[in-house]
Amino acid sequence: MSWTVVTLLALWALIRAGGLELGSFLTQLMTVTPYGAALAALTALLLTRRNRPAALVAATACVVLAACVAPRLTSEDQPAASGPLLRVLTVNLFGRADDASVVDLVRREAVDVFTALELTPEQAERLDAAGLAELLPHRVLQAAPGAIGSGIYAKRPLTELPDLFTPIGHNMPAAGLTLPGGAAVEIVAVHPNPPLGRMEAEWDAALRGLPAPAATGPMRVLAGDFNASIDHRAFRELLERGYVDAAAQVGKGLTPTWPNFRTMPPIIAIDHVLADERMAVRRVEIVDVPGTDHRGVLAELRLP
């Protein structure tokens, strides 16, 4: 039994370190890799006296898994940036987030851009009635029943970018805006389907299909519910195209965002703000929003 557990932990470490996950089960398993590191440490401790070879293998798996997740606990040096500040908020509303709480959050944090996922037509109307229309009057909305709808709200005028990329999964609007001083930014509200069963291939294609940062011209920010964590190969490959995960940049990359129920605390981090790597991440807050099963992510980004 000891060797069975240790072998599975060793395989977990090998798959995570090598980015070898295939299929829905292994893809979902990668999401809880931080807990795998803790499990490997506990296993090594329990086996130290009665099966030292197995304990050594478990300890090795622990070191490998810990090396994969530990960097998200420390702040990274940021690029020099003295341009305008952009405050981005993303929340999966679940179609029933508390409207007053969302609007209060936008007001309190002086949010410039808000990407709303699982945005229903009814919730869009309620948010405006609660005061969002005055705070963020410009919007590109693709509201829809159920989990499909999404939208982008902003303080400044938005230009819809329907040809920026081809969304796969839920609605994923893209829009451009110009900040004070003339800096241009493009925003994408991200929400692929989760990698469950046959949707795993579609989820992978959706992440691969997201636009990379432009070499010249406007900078890009991807914000939303990615149904993915940094422990997924497809998500890391997206980052390698020129993005940084804002929360990981400030040492909050392991702060979980889902599922956020009263009876169950969140356990995995699948909601993100990805910024062009030339931007400086000044601050990130993971925020509770009553009524939804996701926590929101607020990121302050400084443009170069």
- HEC letters along the chain: CHHHHHHHHHHHHHHHHHCCCCHHHHHHHHHCHHHHHHHHHHHHHHHCCCCHHHHHHHHHHHHHHHHHHHHHHCECCCCCCCCCEEEEEEEECCCCCCHHHHHHHHHHCCCCEEEEECCCHHHHHHHHHCCHHHHCCEEEEECCCCCCCEEEEECCCCEECCCCCCCCCCCCCEEEEECCCCCEEEEEEECCCCCCCCHHHHHHHHHHHCCCCCCCCCEEEEEEECCCCCCCHHHHHHHHCCEEEHHHHECCCCCCCECCECCECCCECCEEEEEECCCEEEEEEEECCCCCCCCEEEEEEECC
* Residue 150 pLDDT exceeds 90: yes
Share of the chain above pLDDT 90, in %: 95
- pLDDT score recorded for residue 2: 87
Alpha-carbon 245 to chain mean position: 8
Q: Hey, which residues does 244 pair with through a beta bridge? A: 275
Across 57-66, 155-164, 260-269, least confident range: 260-269
- pLDDT score recorded for residue 27: 98
pLDDT (average), residues 8-17: 98
* Residue 262 pLDDT exceeds 80: no
Q: What is the pLDDT of residues 283-301, one digit of tens each?
A: 999 999 999 999 999 999 9
Residue written as tokens 């370190």? 17
* Residue 275 pLDDT exceeds 80: yes
Domain range 85-302, CATH class? alpha beta
* Residue 265 pLDDT exceeds 90: no
Q: How many angstroms separate the CA atoms of 166 and 197, rounded?
A: 22
- pLDDT score recorded for residue 37: 98
pTM score, two decimals? 0.96
Q: What is the pLDDT of residues 86-140, one digit of tens each?
A: 999 999 999 999 999 999 999 999 999 999 999 999 999 999 999 999 999 999 9
Q: How many angstroms separate the CA atoms of 65 and 33, rounded?
A: 7
The answer to whether the beta carbons of residues 175 and 140 sit under 8 Å apart is yes
- pLDDT score recorded for residue 217: 87
The answer to whether the beta carbons of residues 188 and 214 sit under 8 Å apart is no
Share of the chain above pLDDT 70, in %: 100
Which residues, 6+ apart, have CB-to-CB distance to 16 below 8 Å?
Answer: 30, 33, 36, 64, 65, 68, 231
Torsions phi, psi of 70, nearest 5?
A: -60, -35
Residue written as tokens 């979902």? 28
* Residue 1 pLDDT exceeds 90: no
Q: What is the pLDDT of residues 170-191, one digit of tens each?
A: 999 999 999 998 999 999 999 9
Sequence ranges of the domains in the chain:
2-73, 85-302
pLDDT (average), residues 231-255: 98
Q: Which two tokens stand for residue 50?
A: 């009665």
At residue 264 the predicted structure's pLDDT band, cuts being 50, 70 and 90, is: confident
Q: How many angstroms separate the CA atoms of 234 and 290, rounded?
A: 30
Q: What is the pLDDT of residues 55-75, one digit of tens each?
A: 999 999 999 999 999 999 999
pLDDT (average), residues 228-236: 98
At residue 261 the predicted structure's pLDDT band, cuts being 50, 70 and 90, is: confident
Tell me the average pLDDT of the chain: 96
